[in-house]
Amino acid sequence: MTDRQLEVFRTALEAGYYDVLREATLTDVASAFGVTKSICCDILHRAESAIAHWFADERVDSISHDR
C-alpha cells in the first residue's frame, strides 16, 4: 500500500466512512484531499484491495492450515 493510499484510508476510517451508519461520505473524504470522488474511490479501492490481500495471506491462510 502506498503512503497516499494509507493516508486516504486512515482519514476515511477516522472520519467514519467505514462505520455501519456512515458518519462521512465519499464526497467528504475526497474534499479533505481536494480530489474528485472518482479519484478518491480509486485510491480507497486500491487500499482496500491491499488490505484484503494482506488479510487473506495473514489470517485466512493460517486458519485453513490449522484445520
pLDDT of residue 63: 61
Q: For 1-28, how does the pLDDT look when each residue is reduced to its tens digit (9 = 90+)?
A: 999 999 999 999 999 999 999 999 999 9
Confidence of residue 59 (pLDDT cuts 50, 70, 90): confident
Cα separations in angstroms, 45 against 34, 58, 66: 18, 20, 30
pLDDT of residue 11: 98
Confidence of residue 67 (pLDDT cuts 50, 70, 90): low
pLDDT of residue 15: 98
Identity of residue 62: S
Would you list the DSSP string of the chain?
Answer: --HHHHHHHHHHHHHTTTSSS-SS-HHHHHHHHT--HHHHHHHHHHHHHHHHHHHIIIIIHHHHHH-
